[in-house]
Amino acid sequence: ETVKPTNFIHQIIENDIANEKVADGQIVTRFPPEPNGYLHIGHAKSICLNFGTAEKYQGVCNLRFDDTNPEKESQEYIDAIAEDVRWLGFKWNGDIRYTSDYFDQLHQWAVYLIEQGLAYVDSLSAHEMREFRGTLTEPGRNSPYRERSVEENLELFERMRNGEFDEGDCVLRARIDMAAPNINLRDPVIYRIRKAHHHQSGDKWCIYPSYDFAHGQSDALEGITHSICTLEFEDHRPLYDWFIENLPVPARPRQYEFARLNLNYTVTSKRKLKLLVEEKHVQGWDDPRMPTISGLRRRGYTPASIRNFCEMIGVTRSNGIVDMGMLEAAVRDDLDANAPRAMCVTRPLKVTVSNFPEGEEEWFELPAHPKDESMGLRKVPFSRNLLIEQEDFEEEKPRKWKRLAPGDAVRLRGSYVITCNEVIKDESGNVVELICSYDAATRGENPEGYKPNGVIHWVSADHSVPCEVRLYDRLFTEANPDGDKERDFHDFINSESLEVLTDSRVEIGLKHAVAESHYQFERLGYFSVDRDSDENRLVFNRTVTLRDSWAK
């Protein structure tokens, strides 16, 4: 049985398996986030690729926190990231792993490099090191400390480890080639002093390995066969390979790069998202306007929709910007098929059905889903006191108006046709109530030859449940908020990205709707129950409108 390759990474893996380059044929991948923020939709691409690839080839995928910058990291981020991966529907291999689990081994390997004459303690200042590094067109220069003896280096490194130096006094560098055309090979820093408490290793260490030194070796220790990362690490690959070749590592992982996901009308960088949170442009990392996985979840995105989106965009080596409309289309497809229907009136206008007796009610049985009988029926009450959407009535009706107007008839979805007989206004001239009559012959269907103007949604005022509805717009006013060299993404924050309607009413069947459940509110879009809901107040977030409203 052959598995069809769906991207270039899968093609590489299938070749490796065919050529028996994979020990025991077992594919091992990893997803290696740094716990310095919440994951965003770009990370979802990496998660789907790493976990999805492992699943496809009956391999395993590790979850490893790349925790070499203790000052920027925290347990809160670790917990949030693990929850995001779990929620997306992936299961990691064994326990959560941490690069910090390997600090002892990495330290021994650093000592090993010193002993081989392949690493030295440099006492240049950071500024001097930068000057000595050279440029793309000019080779670097050797540090005056590059020729320190093995003994001296071992002693200095030991003293670094013992905390005898201050941060920045010295670093450990790999001794490779200061004239290498690839700047990453010009004696990269492999250990630096950070007198910081670490969320996993506590105060055991005051020296920490660099990303480049830690990553490949951690891959080797975990038996990762294919170490998949984004294109900005392509130039680091020779260094990745240099460490693997020069250290007695237990396995031979290889790095492969793919293009990051960029999405328009948002930013996908933890650093920038963190600023949005800290500066209170949003209410938190999981604000439904954020492109974080937790924000999308709260907005009402489903795991399936995000996974399908990642399938749709594919995996390539060319950078591009994906339209937000694609992400929205993915969730629309999923919710169209799976979300029960309901009616919600977001800005209510009172309708009194004058020929329907006060105190009586009539219950309609409507399908929970028009295309899926298995979802059953829902009971919707009709009464004398109804609410319709303010927007669905116009006193001076525009041309081709398909809703209600004085003297006109309209069908109330799933029930009767009503005719507007009288318009009641308050002292300032605002329409506050419509007196209508219903036509008993129109129950559920139109009598022959009869055609009302249109169909609108409604609820019974006496039965419906009060709720809050939160409507969201794009977080940025520009498609590429990072694209302007002169300006910064802050200049393009949409100050009207959130609209809160506190006076809304939803049909009674949703009274006990649970947090994170999904509904299609007829004519309004897909909504999800926010976790701010409680016994007395339901809160709904609009996930997405029914049709693409992004295309301008």
Tell me, by CB under 6 A, how many residues bind ligand ATP.
Answer: 14
Pick from 7, 105, 184, 230 the residue near ligand ATP by CB under 6 A: 230
**Which residue in 14, 16, 34, 323 binds ligand ATP (CB under 6 A)?**
34
Nearest one of 323, 330, 271 to 296, comparing CA atoms: 330
Q: Which is nearer to ligand ATP, 43 or 226 (CB)?
A: 43
Cross-strand bridge partners of residue 471 = 499
User: Which of 394, 249, 267 has the alpha carbon at shortest distance from 321?
Assistant: 267
| Minimum distance of ligand ATP from residue 10's CB (angstroms) | 17
Draw the binding track, 45-74, toward ligand ATP (x: CB under 6 A; -: no contact): xx----------------------------
Instruction: Output the CA torsion sign for 450, 453, 457, 461.
Output: negative
Question: Which two three-digit tokens encode residue 232?
Answer: 């900005």
Closest approach of Mg ion to the CB of residue 344, in Å: 40
Nearer to Mg ion, 106 or 351 (CB): 106
Q: Is 229 a residue that touches ligand ATP (CB under 6 A)?
A: yes
Amino acid identity at 453:
N
The two tokens of residue 92 are: 């990691």
Q: Is 356 exposed, middle or buried (0-12, 13-18, 19+ CB in 10 A)?
A: buried
Tally the residues of the chain.
552
Rg (Cα) of the chain, in Å, rounded? Answer: 31
By CB atoms closer than 10 A (0-12, 13-18, 19+), residue 311 is middle
Query: Does residue 270 touch ligand ATP according to CB under 6 A?
Result: yes
209 binds ligand ATP (CB under 6 A): no
Return the ∠ at Cα 110 (arms to 107 and 116), rounded to 5°: 145
Residue closer to Mg ion (CB basis): 124 or 259? 259
- Segment contacting ligand ATP by CB under 6 A, of 126-134, 136-144, 263-271, 322-330: 263-271
Decide whether 244 or 310 has the Cβ nearer to ligand ATP. 310
Could you say which of Mg ion, ligand ATP, none residue 230 binds, taking C-beta under 5 to 8 angstroms by partner kind? ligand ATP
Q: Which is nearer to Mg ion, 34 or 516 (CB)?
A: 34
Closest CB to Mg ion among 112 and 256?
256
Give whichever of 315 and 342 is closer to ligand ATP, judged by the CB atom: 315
Partner from Mg ion, ligand ATP, none contacting 229, C-beta within 5 to 8 A by type: ligand ATP
Joined tokens for residue 117: 């004459």
Choose the stretch contacting ligand ATP; rule: CB under 6 A; options: 8-16, 32-40, 406-414, 534-542: 32-40
Q: Which is nearer to Mg ion, 17 or 196 (CB)?
A: 196
SS in 3 state form for 477-522? CCCCCCCCCCCCHHHHECCCCEEEEEEEEECHHHCCCCCCCEEEEC
Please count the other Cβ atoms lying within 10 Å of the Cβ belonging to residue 166. Answer: 9
Is residue 261 near ligand ATP by the rule CB under 6 A? yes
Please select the residue that binds ligand ATP; options are 56, 260, 350, 397, rule is CB under 6 A. Answer: 260
Q: Roughly how many angstroms between the first and final C-alpha of the chain, as a whole number?
A: 47
* CB closer to Mg ion, 34 vs 433: 34
Binder of residue 384, out of Mg ion, ligand ATP, none (CB less than 5 to 8 A by kind): none
Pick the closer one to ligand ATP by CB: 230 or 390: 230
The tokens for 201 are 């290793």
- Stretch in the footprint of ligand ATP (CB under 6 A) among 117-125, 268-276, 333-341, 538-546: 268-276
Q: How far is the CB of 49 from ligand ATP (least distance, A)?
A: 8
Q: Please, what is the minimum distance in Å from the beta carbon of residue 34 to Mg ion?
A: 5
Helices (H) then strands (E): counts for the chain: 12, 27
CA distance 380 to 366: 7
Determine the size of the site formed for Mg ion (CB under 5 A): 1
Q: Which stretch binds ligand ATP (CB under 6 A): 30-38, 100-108, 130-138, 442-450?
A: 30-38
Residue facing Mg ion at closest CB distance: 34
CB of 367 within 8 A of CB of 374? no
Catalytic residues: 34, 260, 270
Per-residue binding string, Mg ion, 24-63, x by CB under 5 A, is ----------x-----------------------------
Q: In Å, how far are 20, 57, 355, 531 from 1, measured between CA atoms?
A: 17, 12, 70, 46
The reply to whether 294 sits near ligand ATP by the rule CB under 6 A is no
Bridge partners of residue 65, in order along the sequence: 98
User: Strand 518-521 and strand 341-342: pairing?
Assistant: parallel
Q: Return the closest-CA partner of residue 342 out of 411, 413, 417.
A: 413
- Rounded to a whole number of angstroms, the minimum distance from the CB of residue 422 to ligand ATP is 58
How far apart CA 309 and CA 350 sit, in angstroms, is 41
Residue 45 site contact among Mg ion, ligand ATP, none (CB < 5 to 8 Å, cut-off depends on kind): ligand ATP
Examine residue 268 and tell whether it contacts ligand ATP (CB under 6 A): yes
CB of 67 to Mg ion, least distance (A): 11
Least Cα distance to 456 among 394, 518, 517, 498 occurs for 394
**Smallest distance from ligand ATP to CB 6, Å:** 17
Q: Which of 214, 217, 277 is nearest to 34 (CA)?
A: 214
The site partner of 225 among ligand ATP, Mg ion, none (C-beta below 5 to 8 Å per kind) is none
Q: Which residue is nearest to ligand ATP (CB)?
A: 42
Within 13 A of 217's CA, how many CA atoms are on the CB side? 25
Q: Does 226 bind ligand ATP (CB under 6 A)?
A: no
Alpha carbon of 346 to those of 209, 212, 341, 386, 472: distances in Å?
Answer: 55, 53, 15, 13, 14
Among 13, 27, 38, 43, binds ligand ATP (CB under 6 A): 43
Question: For binding to ligand ATP (CB under 6 A), which residues are involved?
Answer: 32-34, 42-43, 45-46, 229-230, 260-261, 268-270
